Chains A and B, each alone.
Chain A
Amino acid sequence: MPDGISREDVLAIAALAELELDAAEVETFTKQLAEILAYATDIRQLETAGIPPTASVVFRAPAERPDDARPCLDRDSALANAPEAGAGMFKVPRVIG
């Protein structure tokens, strides 16, 4: 069971979250996440067998719409905020050798 959180845990989570933490952040987050998770211990002791989880609080079934093509952003607008674009596409660093 998860109790406490180690420096290695923090590094593993940072890798999952695509965050490149510096040494000071690793130290701070190890301490702070442990404190926050310790506070959550209370709810782990609550009996919840058979209680359904709430993922959404939408009170009424949302209306559906026909699955028709509708106007959308044009290509130039969609690319306007891109850090790097070219030939009508988003550009990223080379992925394949």
Chain B
Amino acid sequence: MTPAVATGEPLLKIRELDKHFGPVQALYHVDLDVPPGQVTALCGDNGAGKTVLTKCIAGIYQIDHGQVSWEGHAVHIHNARDAARLGIETVYQDLALADNLDIVQNMFLGRERLRNGLLDEDSMERSAAETLSSLRVTTVRSIRQPVASLSGGQRQSVAVAKAVMWNSKLVLMDEPTAALGVVQTRMVLDLIRRLRDKGLAVMVISHNLNDVFEVADNIAVLYLGRMAVHDKASNFDRQSVDEYMTTGGLGRSSGRPAKDS
């Protein structure tokens, strides 16, 4: 664990983040803390702004207003490369894998290792194999098979392995279990726990409350672009999260302040 936990300093701290698209205010004054070594679940109904917030963190969207600090320092994330440099990696719902490339090629896409100006396939293959085995992703038949030939769960694993290979500190996962069956969902949840045990911060975007309560240490709920609630998972039950997601507050009144612990 990093000392940040001990001092209570979150890895990623967001304050009063605003984002609009034309006249549509997608996010309004959003605050969020993501601590290292813990799983933070970001919940919300469709259109609540989960994906927009994720893309702001990942550098895909530029924020309009607000402060983002990383390990205690104010940062401006302008693009995906900035995010990657900080150690933020995103696993998108569509996984963003190139079907025609094999597992190694996908894991190193955009960050290929070179030797004498040519691709260093041997070294890349070795590192990819190490990362996969450290995550216990072991049922792929060959690390050199095209991603097109993998099952949904295997693809998810490759996408996660791709994200954690770069000494990343925060892994954002957008609906990691949405397209998976029961067994494969279990595998992915195990994978998320393994990332947490490695000391990584994980932020899971999900509206599957079963998954959320299984892995999350903290839960943040967005409602219509505002942070409805953000607290430890143990302070919630399924019903309360559900209520925050659908109405933005408990008993229709914003009974709880939209603040973190």
Note whether A and B form a binding pair: no
**B interface residues (Cβ-Cβ under 8 A, vs A):** none
**A interface residues (Cβ-Cβ under 8 A, vs B):** none
